[in-house]
Structure 1
């Protein structure tokens, strides 16, 4: 594995840092309280080329490889405090844009990818249902062919970006008796007959990333909006989840680095018992643990990106990356709060928000338990 970054790659990372620190800075504390998504910041990111980073130039992207992309997203996470915004962008890139790119028809790619890359449209992904979460392929949303349309009926829940989305990648079954072999993907637009976005879901964290339920009541989806072949939805979903698990937490790695710098500065400036608290072994040990997590997480992230670039597939390593980065982010957030003491518990210092935001990482894109199951399966267990 060669992680010898080129000058251009490092310049891109640094440019993302500077962009985020300057252009994505706003009153995130109040927007978090109001659970307010920022379309303005979304469009700024699009103009910077973030949504299009790993996508072909013909669709408005930059055609960056996955290693370059995760390095850029790491820089973005270092400078941007709005974890909800970054989560929404990543959700669109890996679970909407990537499956359309990899499995969509030329017509679908030309119709949807340019608008998603340039920020004109926002995308959402619908797989989870009220009665099927981790057991994703036991979904109940049905799709019945009727002439030149499919008729979809069912409900999707925990759909990131749903309240603000224009286009949705939805999974339904053409025959529940076939299990995962009946699962089929569809591209659904906001205005399709029989489709509605239902109640907005309030969350513990990532509050600036909107979430809602989707309702399909005899929803008419044109045949040309089927994504891939009938019964091919399981392969599409698994592929997109591998991309998502590999890349979605790159921003968190940057945030961990920024958080450590903040904690070191505080440990040097804050004095108790006539000395900086960083001289107390219990505080210094927490900072050391945070550093070890960051460096370990970085190697794991770069490794899975390298494997995706060179081998095309990295199922187990994607699960390892998702598991380790998500759980490390929570531990580091807890350490950061403890280092800051009572101040860390206040909204003003923004560490409590980071902790709330971090918890979702152990749930979305497959829970930590599912990641451990994937790893165990690839160990032959």
Structure 2
């Protein structure tokens, strides 16, 4: 898969902002958009570990981390909930297009006042004859401006706490749905993200995932996949950056010596390699636990923490080793740092991962 990705997305190509439908179709042809989805719908039917290894190869072979993230959000935050909790009708209608790339999916969970705390959603779903009426706004919807399909979560019973949230599958062309313009972001610029507003949007009962009140359970299930497999792309990015930094340290000379001959540089690169291997092994352990049906909350939280913190630290080290070149846009190292920083925030911040890990440890 790594060589296939490198051929499809050769080094030095300039990422499009946002990604092109041509690139999206390429991901579909490579099987990446349906890696863990059933083969009857066009997916590869892989487990978590094999899926993560594919996305690690994508992150290593494709320098457009925004495209990698967009594909990950599409698959893990949207397609997985449909595959696991959707009716046969919903799966037959949407999963083939999701796998092929014909359909782009957007995850509409985050709100302006509900980032890390997703227990108080202001998007409401009022029961009416035959379904629900949705009213409210979602923010930071990854793929939102380009999506043809949204998986969203709304409050159906404000008195029921986490049992009062319901998950819905909604076509982007549904009356009352409006996607905003793409945000101007620090990084992941190939991934279009913006607001999605629902105004008296009628959603038939058949488009509920699971049953009403099951939204929190569905979301946490998708978060397990996202926190593990999505960050495989960042592990791949770390591997690519270590390789590139090693090559630079061997080639670049200062004071008549290779950079690699300076202990301060070589030890920094060793630290980069250690972070990479730590993140990779924790990722594989988390995905193995998921495939075995074992409790994986602790492993997933530690994996996400190691991958995101490691990606930022490695990118910053690479900037230092590249020196002035690391500050120049045409060299591309500064983009790695900009793309790494958001990993500390989405899918639960580093602080949230530590809270989850602490609870699993009985603290």
Alignment of 1:227-238 (within 5 A): 227-238=209-220
Say if 2:15 and 2:64, in contact at 8 Å, map to a contact too: no
Q: CA deviation at 1:254?
A: 1.5
Q: 2:60 aligns with which of 78, 89, 94?
A: 78
Task: Specify the alignment match of 1:22 in structure 2.
Answer: 7
C-alpha separation between the residues in 1 aligned to 2:39 and 2:229?
A: 20
List aligned pairs for 1:8-157, cutoff 5 A.
16-25=1-10, 28-29=13-14, 31=16, 35-157=17-139
Alpha-carbon distance in 1 for matches of 2:321, 2:105: 39
Give matches, 1:305-344, under 5 Å.
305-344=287-326
Equivalent of residue 157 in structure 2, options 150, 175, 179: 175
- 2:353 matched residue in structure 1: 371
Residue 15 of structure 2 contacts residue 190 of structure 2 at CA under 8 Å; is this kept in 1? Answer: no
Q: Does 1:279 align with 2:261?
A: yes
State the Cα distance separating 1:161 from its structure 2 match: 0.2
- Unpaired segments ≥5 residues, structure 2: none
Displacement of 1:305 in angstroms is: 0.8
Distance 2:237 2:360 in 1: 30
How far apart are residue 26 of structure 1 and its match? Answer: 7.5
Task: Kindly provide the CA deviation profile for residues 216-254 of structure 1, in whole angstroms up to 9, marking residues without a partner as x.
Answer: 110011110011111100000011001100111111112
**What's the CA shift for 1:295?**
1.2
Cα distance in 2 between the residues matched to 1:112 and 1:341: 48
C-alpha displacement at 1:269, in angstroms? 1.0
Aligned alpha-carbon RMSD (Å) = 1.2
SS in 1 for 2:33: coil
Distance 2:9 2:309 in 1: 26
Task: Decide whether the 8 Å contact of 1:38 with 1:85 is kept in 2.
Answer: no
Residue of structure 1 in register with 2:148 after alignment: 166
* TM-superposed deviation, 1:344: 0.9
**4+ runs deviating over 6 angstroms:** none
- The TM-score normalised by the length of structure 2 is 0.97
Structure 1 residue 259: deviation in Å? 1.1
Q: Which runs of 5+ in 1 are unaligned?
A: 1-15
Match of 1:187 among 149, 159, 169: 169
Aligned residues: 363
Following superposition, the deviation at residue 144 of structure 1 comes to 1.1
How far the C-alpha of 1:312 sits from its partner, in A, is 4.7
Q: In the TM superposition, what whole-angstrom CA distance separates every residue of 1:254-303 from its partner, at most 9, and x where no partner exists?
A: 22112111111111111111110110011011111011111111110110
State whether residues 48 and 225 of structure 2, in contact with CA within 8 Å, keep that contact through their aligned partners in structure 1. no
